[in-house]
Amino acid sequence: MPAYKLTCFGQSGNAFKPALYFALSGTEWEPAWINFFKGEHKDAAYTSKNDQAQVPILEHGDVTIAQSAVILDYLVGQIGQFGWSSEEERREIWKWVMWDNYSFTSMFAPYRFFANFVPEEKRDPGAMAFMDMRMKNALKTLESHMQGREWVALDRPTIADISIAGYCYYGDEVPFDFADYPAISAWKDRLAALPGFVPPYELMPTSA
Ligand SMILES: N[C@@H](CCC(=O)N[C@@H](CS)C(=O)NCC(=O)O)C(=O)O
């Protein structure tokens, strides 16, 4: 039985981040599907493991970890790939993982969620406009950063790329056109060409 168990569901780009780490590093892992759309992440059985009531969590032996960024950090420590080899590299990677969590995924994920999984009459137009504006600002920042670069933080792929990749491979569910962001598109293709890459709906279950 694989040592790593990741509670996830196919639609979750936050869960895709550690799942992608496993795929790219060739690490054996086991998905534990959670019925997020039925609200199972709020059940006591789940909140006893993660009182933040969010997906994903990683279970590894006696260790249970929430927050995809913390899980990625843990996996770097355990598996040793896509990490840093100096304090300076570590800071650069974390600068982008934090940016992803605060500025990119934080807008991209809920915008894509509402746009694809919530009926239009239940969407708040003001909130949608705000998320769209913030998401596009973040895309502008990333597009400009990626000019002339292959990878986000260092001269090789790291957990910064894996974190930012979270919601980028959901095809038609992505609420903007990657063609408007050529440097990001090239990076996205580069990441998808790495050995072991599998897109989210092929990597994680969408039902029991
Ligand atoms: N920063 C967290 C975000 C996790 C997150 O928001 N997950 C979504 C599912 S993709 C969730 O559980 N949402 C429920 C909620 O926030 O109440 C991470 O990176 O793990």
What domains sit in the chain, N to C, each tagged with a CATH number? 4-81+197-203 (3.40.30.10), 87-192 (1.20.1050.10)
- Assign residue 82 a region (left: φ > 0; alpha: ψ between -120 and 50; beta: otherwise): left
The mean of the pLDDT values for the chain is 98
- Percentage of the chain lying above the pLDDT 70 cut: 99
- Give the contacts of 113 (CB within 8 A, at least 6 positions apart): none
Report pLDDT for 202: 98
Q: From the CA of 7, how far away is ligand 1's center (Å)?
A: 12
- Name which residue sits closest to atom 11 of ligand 1, judged by CA: 54
Q: Tens digits of per-residue pLDDT, 47-88?
A: 999 999 999 999 999 999 999 999 999 999 999 999 999 999
Report pLDDT for 1: 55
The residue type found at 133 is M
Sign of CA dihedral 145, 148, 152, 154: negative
Report pLDDT for 132: 98
pLDDT lower than 50: segments of the chain: none
Report pLDDT for 58: 98
The residue type found at 104 is F
Q: Determine the Cα–Cα distance for residues 179 and 192; give it in Å rounded to an integer.
A: 16
- Name which residue sits closest to atom 17 of ligand 1, judged by CA: 54
Three-state secondary structure call for residue 185: helix
Pocket probe for ligand 1: among 14, 64, 104, the residue whose CB has the most ligand atoms within 8 Å is: 14
